Amino acid sequence: MKASLSLLAALAIVAGAAAQSVTVPPAVAQGFEGTSSTGTLWSSGASATLTGTAMHHQLFYGRETLPGGAVTFNRLRFRANGTSTTTVLTGGTWSNVTIQMCTSATPVTAPSTTFANNLGGDLMTVYSGNVAVASTAQAFPGIDYVDITLQTPFFFAGAGDLLIDVQWAAGSWSLGTVQTTDYQIPAGTPAARLYSTTAGATIGALNTSAGIVCTLDYVADPTASWKQRYGNKCYEGTFYEYFSPARSCDLSNSAIRMQPNSVGGYDVSAIAVNLVPPVSASFTGADDSLSAAQTLPFAFPYVGGSTTLIRMCTNGFVWLDGTSTSTDFTATPAELLSLLPRLAVAWTDWNASPTGTGGGGTWHFDVDPSNLVVYCTWNGIGAFGWSPALGGPTASTFQAKLFADGSVEYHYLTMNNPYTPREMVVGIKPGAGAYADPGSRNLSDLASYGFSTSSTTAAGLLLDMSGRPILGTTRDFTMANIPATASFTVVLVGFLGVIPPLELSGISMPGCHNNIDLTGSVLFGAVLTTPTGTLPVSIPLDVSLIAVQLFAESVSGVATANPLGLQTSNGLILSLGN
């Protein structure tokens, strides 16, 4: 009965909620082409003379790439492979197509080769009938040439991966020729497919780290649970965001400011984009090139000291010591945290060579007329590995601003993806020596949740929950980076957050922040372990709790941390629901 009520609620939501869409796998968001193509789905055996082979296809997409919470999918779109040919393919129609959807019974990383073994208990037929394949011409990326409005919307929630099962019989094709389907196959792609062109086959051929490009329209369930980290941890020395080749860079039309603070770190916030056009001549280096040492009109202070010399690299970073010569194009968090001070504005494998693969653009160093700011600009820089077949922006434009007071700003206009096998890292290494890994942050959240760092090489106390706070489930509060000398670590829970957080120098905790309103908060529990700890929490199955928000924060007893002997974590918002 509960499942039926959930479905009815989902269908009611469809009528009144705003439609949204998500394209999977995630690196092929609108405007980007997949790395390959496949002829085993919508073009399977189709031509002007053939009537098409039988097809059974299971498409798997990782849960983490789909909208959080509970959603209702109501439309599927598949993209033609981008093509340079000027021939127009006429398209046609598949008849008697059956599409089912469910939560996969197997993980996206290891589906069974037996079709039936992958079907979850919520399996539902969402479409049955003819499917039109539109005509296609030259386009990068390809157009959405298969567009299916589901006859029965599919309600999707929980932690499992998504499975889309597509079947039709042999002889189902009519009309003309059809383009192959866009396909994404870099290692680590959170998707998979299982397929067979043999009628009645029970076992198929399996490809992991491989996803047929699909856009799913959906409406979100307003009763869905969610969680969000926010605010500041005590004594965390740096930050970064890591973009894998399977993930889109989402920093276009955004800017970040790092303002020196009273505890030797930075207050980090979102600001309006204001990229100053370069006026200097471009450096002459091309791919994997480093500028000569550039003289600043001031001594630029940073956590590790100060400098009057910097060096720009085509690969999207600035050395702060003026002597480093590496032009490394393989960006990793480990290297950022262990090597010399640098500004990782958009560190990946860029290419300024107009004759190189995906290359082009210019890179510049400019001094503001005030002599109080300098600008490092990558202007229309190409991404190594980009080609017209990949689609997306042909180049990227971004800038670092260094101010005489030690402030730093990153400004992004159009940003391209890192391309396989490259990665991208955005952040800062503010001092010498090795820094503890604080974990990747989502810098897109800065507009709502700024944060601060301090003059340390440590990673701050981290509070999270093991999953979304779904009614009727048991979750764990998880704590990481608990200092080795901590005598205890507690979790406090209340009904109000402090956003932005309150700096605690006034109670002898400089560099720490209060992220929740202590009025009415309760001590949930304590752990004595280091460097990690967990506290289980049972969430009642009570519909009156839907959309109730709780705010949590951890506190460790560390005698040497500050005069008060306490160290706080980030804040954690928990919105209870389905």
Mind listing the pLDDT tens digit for each residue in 438-494? 999 989 888 888 899 999 999 999 999 998 898 999 999 999 999 999 999 999 999
Instruction: Flag the least confident range among 245-254, 303-312, 375-384, 555-564.
Output: 245-254
Evaluate if residue 27 carries a pLDDT over 70. no
Q: What is the pLDDT of residue 417?
A: 67
- The three-state secondary structure class of 70 is coil
Evaluate if residue 21 carries a pLDDT over 80. yes
Give residue-wise pLDDT tens across range 173-220.
887 788 888 888 888 889 999 999 888 899 999 999 999 999 999 998
Question: 44 near 204, Cβ under 8 Å?
Answer: no
Q: What is the pLDDT of residue 566?
A: 97
| Average pLDDT estimate for 337-359 | 85
Distance (Å, rounded) from C-alpha 411 to C-alpha 430? 19
Q: What is the pLDDT of residue 13?
A: 37
Evaluate if residue 14 carries a pLDDT over 50. no
In degrees rounded to 5, what are phi and psi of residue 2? -60, -40
Six-digit token string for 363: 């890179």
- The three-state secondary structure class of 277 is coil
Output the average pLDDT for the chain: 88
Question: 74 near 383, Cβ under 8 Å?
Answer: no
| Average pLDDT estimate for 106-132 | 93
In degrees rounded to 5, what are phi and psi of residue 551? -125, 130
* Helix (H), strand (E) at residue 299: strand 294-302
Six-digit token string for 503: 């700096």
Instruction: Flag the least confident range among 39-48, 282-291, 545-554, 556-565.
Output: 39-48
461-575 belongs to CATH 2.40.50:
no
**Alpha-carbon torsion, ordered 332, 337, 339, 343, to 10 deg:** 80
DSSP secondary structure string for all residues of 377-402:
EEEEEEETT--GGGBS-S-EEEEEEE
Evaluate if residue 415 carries a pLDDT over 50. yes
Pairing of strands 181-184, 36-38: antiparallel
Q: What is the pLDDT of residue 136?
A: 82
Six-digit token string for 234: 């005590």
Distance (Å, rounded) from C-alpha 527 to C-alpha 529? 6
Six-digit token string for 467: 């999953």
Evaluate if residue 355 carries a pLDDT over 80. no
Question: 353 near 365, Cβ under 8 Å?
Answer: no
Provide Rg for the chain, Cα atoms.
26
Pairing of strands 342-347, 522-527: unpaired
Give residue-wise pLDDT tens across range 510-522.
989 999 999 889 9
| Residue 384 binned pLDDT confidence (cut-offs 50, 70, 90) | confident
In degrees rounded to 5, what are phi and psi of residue 506? -65, -20
| Average pLDDT estimate for 7-16 | 37
CA dist list (Å): 551 to 105, 498, 525: 34, 9, 14
CA dist list (Å): 360 to 63, 312, 347: 37, 17, 17
Q: What is the pLDDT of residue 48?
A: 46
Evaluate if residue 316 carries a pLDDT over 80. yes
Instruction: Flag the least confident range among 77-86, 108-117, 162-171.
Output: 77-86
Q: Which one is predicted more confidently, 234 or 68?
A: 234
Percent of the chain residues past pLDDT 70, beyond the cut = 90
| Residue 15 binned pLDDT confidence (cut-offs 50, 70, 90) | very low
| Average pLDDT estimate for 515-541 | 94
Q: What is the pLDDT of residue 307?
A: 97
| Average pLDDT estimate for 256-279 | 95
DSSP secondary structure string for all residues of 108-177:
TTS--SBGGGG--TT-EEEEEEEEEE--B-SBSS--EEEEEEEEEEEEE-SSSPEEEEEEE-TT-EEES-
| Average pLDDT estimate for 231-249 | 85
Distance (Å, rounded) from C-alpha 509 to C-alpha 398? 37
**Alpha-carbon torsion, ordered 456, 459, 461, 467, to 10 deg:** 160
Evaluate if residue 547 carries a pLDDT over 50. yes
Six-digit token string for 277: 């056009």
Residue 455: HSE in the Cβ half-sphere, 13 Å Cα cutoff: 11
399-403, 450-454, 502-506 — which one is most confidently predicted on average? 399-403
Where do the domains of the chain lie?
2-220, 232-452, 461-575
Distance (Å, rounded) from C-alpha 516 to C-alpha 341? 34
Evaluate if residue 118 carries a pLDDT over 70. yes
**Alpha-carbon torsion, ordered 495, 500, 503, 507, to 10 deg:** -20
Q: Which one is predicted more confidently, 136 or 296?
A: 296
Q: Which one is predicted more confidently, 488 or 385?
A: 488
Q: Which residues pair with 533 in a beta bridge?
A: 479
| Residue 539 binned pLDDT confidence (cut-offs 50, 70, 90) | very high
